[in-house]
Structure 1
Amino acid sequence: MTPLLRAAHGGPAAAVVILALLLGVAEDLAPARVLLVGLAVLAGQLSVGWSNDLLDARRDRAVGRTDKPLASGELSERTVQVACVLALVAVVPLSLACGWEAGLVHLVLVASAWTYNLGLKATAWSWAPYAVSFGLLPVVVALADDDLPPWWVPAAAALLGVGAHLVNVLPDLDDDAATGVHGLPHRIGRRRLPAAATAVLVLGSVVVTVGAGFTPVALAALGVVAALAVVALTGRGRTPFLAAIAIALVDVVTLVAAR
């Protein structure tokens, strides 16, 4: 992966774009509409990722984050600033091209993600942008088809977002604490964090199962999640972390399949 893509958090950005595309297919959007939604989400995620690394550059240098292109000197701040502005400018017409309702909701989604970068990450409300942005993603996709999803879809997506936040921060707890970042995961603590993330993700699975009407697929997925939850709560080392990620992946698949 090129330094510019790494600075944009290419992996997580791609995951969100793929989720949006899968939701679009599940929503029976026309292929061109699915592509348009994907491009809008991509532009938004790139702006969020680049702004995150720009705002964290000083902190990343302080803790020696050699995996961060800005901190290691692989990229200049000017390059990332230009890329971030271009992505932010592009997200407006791309979003509105999906329909003005879908576009406005997507712009709220992107603004919510930016609030995390701009300061909420260091507060007890660090979970809120994840809940709002993930929760709104299926709403954006449905509105692109002049529709609204049932209540349980954004609810499950919001829980998935919070769970993803708790899991994602786990490897960076020490570096964050050393530079004054004390979000919700840091306040929960390393020892209790895997259990908290597991509980949130399992709750998301339950919401999907109930909302989907206890379909065989949802019930089977819930069984898999239950088994993974046991592993997450009893495992040692990186096992709880990996099990929580697996639960998140099962939640994503079940959510898309339930649509």
Structure 2
Amino acid sequence: MSVTRAWVRAAHPVPVMVVTAWTACLAVSVGHSAASGALVTLAVLTGQLSVGWLNDLVDAARDARAGRACKPVAQGRLARATVAAMVLGSAVSAAALTALCGRAAALAHLLALLSAWVYDLGVKATAWSVLPYLVSFGLLPGVVTFALPGAPAPPVWLVVSGALLGCAAHFVNTLPDLADDARVGVRGLPHRLGAAGSSVAAALTLLGSALALAAAPRLGGELRLLALAALLTAALAAVVGLLWLGVRGGGARLAFPTVLLVAALEMGLLLTAGTSVGAAG
């Protein structure tokens, strides 16, 4: 594994790319200019890098005991002191970039990052493990809208959709590692619910996210009906698949791509329809 590849893998690239892409799509949807949209997206990207690297740094000992060869920090391919420096550097960069977007956006981003860091630092092993996902993903729309002129608040439906999507991601991301995590002492909410319970929870939160976005009263645009049909069809298919997984077991690694698909379609809906933000939300 090359050094560059090790750094990319340690950052948890898929979640980083999804959150960054979702931010970019939302920035376009709410009317950011190219410059301001790029700034807020870059701020979120650097913040996500700090979260991913911190996760691998904190979990290095547990990952080594579990024999996870895909974890560069646990395998000694990246020095822990260097990773710690990168966590700090990316966090400071994220804070500085968001500060350029205004105080409200900077505060929302800081709270979202604090929530994610708290998860990495221990909440992931408790019954409250889903709460940081709920908070961080719920705050993400605010990071984007507060960066607009006048710092308008995000509409409630967008906050709900983001928060529920984050919850679904937490449940399905944990499914493949339930047994390994249990052996090293991680007992988050998905572990306590088990594979079946986590599959049901993921299905319900994923459907809720899609419905919150689909029912948005101020989401318009000529392609809205087509985008809505694609989103709801994919969401319902994902729900059926997750529920089947919960009943029959197996195929846990297919669960995360279902959430990615729905997230991608939500991005498409935001891009094609556009979003109005402001006091009336």
Give TM-score scaled by structure 2 length.
0.85
Distance in 1 separating the partners of 2:236 and 2:271: 19
Contact 1:164 1:248 in 2 (8 A): no
Work out whether 1:93 is the aligned partner of 2:96: yes
CA 1:115–1:256 in structure 2 vs 1: closer, same or farther (change >3 Å)?
A: farther
* Of 41, 52, 56, the match for 1:53: 56
Conserved in 2, the CA contact under 8 Å of 1:209 and 1:219? Answer: no
Tell me what 1:122 maps to.
125
Aligned to 1:104: 107
Give how far 1:152 is off: 0.5
The CA distance in 2 between the partners of 1:253 and 1:180, in whole Å, is: 39
Asked if structure 2 preserves the Cα contact closer than 8 Å seen for 1:202 and 1:247, the reply is no
Show the counterpart of 1:195. Answer: 200
SS in 2 for 1:75: coil
State the match for 2:262 in structure 1: 247
1:257 deviates by: 4.6
Is 1:238 matched up with 2:248?
A: no
Q: Per-residue deviation at 1:131?
A: 0.7
Equivalent of residue 70 in structure 2, options 67, 70, 88: 67
Q: Any stretches of 5+ residues in structure 1 without a counterpart?
A: none
- Cα distance in 1 for residues equivalent to 2:49 and 2:94: 10
Code of the residue aligned with 1:3 in structure 2: it is: A
Identical-residue share of aligned pairs (%): 42
Preserved contact between residue 137 and residue 166 of structure 2 (Cα < 8 Å): yes
Give the 3 Å change call, closer, same or farther, for CA 109–165 of structure 1 in structure 2: same
1:10 is matched with: 13
Are the structure 2 counterparts of residues 26 and 244 from structure 1 closer, same or farther at C-alpha, using a change threshold of 3 Å? closer
Per the alignment, residue 176 of structure 2 pairs with 171
Q: Which sections of structure 2, spanning at least 5 residues, go unmatched?
A: 276-281
Q: State the Cα deviation string for residues 1-59 of structure 1 (Å, max 9, x = none).
A: 61012111122112111111111111110111011101111111111111111110110
* Counterpart-to-counterpart distance in 1, 2:218 and 2:31: 20
Q: Distance between the aligned counterparts of 2:84 and 2:130, measured in 1?
A: 26
Return the alpha-carbon distance in structure 1 between the equivalents of residues 98 and 139 of structure 2.
13
Q: Is the 8 A contact 1:221 1:250 kept in 2?
A: yes
Distance (whole Å) between structure 1 residues aligned to residue 33 and residue 265 of structure 2: 26
Q: Are 1:22 and 1:256, in contact at CA under 8 Å, matched by a contact in 2?
A: yes
SS at match of 1:70: coil
Number of aligned residues: 259
Deviation digits for residues 137-177 of structure 1, max 9, x if unmatched? Answer: 11110010022221100011000000011011111111111
Q: Which secondary structure state, in structure 2, belongs to the residue aligned with residue 186 of structure 1?
A: helix
- Over the aligned positions, Cα root-mean-square deviation in angstroms equals 2.0
Cα distance between partner residues in 2 of 1:133 and 1:57: 23
Identify the residue that residue 47 of structure 2 maps to in structure 1. 44
- Cα distance in 2 between the residues matched to 1:256 and 1:155: 18
Runs of 4+ residues over 6 Å off in structure 1? none
Partner of 2:157: 152
In 2, distance between residues paired with 1:244 and 1:83? 29
Match of 2:35 in 1: 32
- Which range moved further: 134-143 or 205-214? 205-214
TM-score, normalised to structure 1, is 0.92
Letter matched to residue 88 of structure 1: A
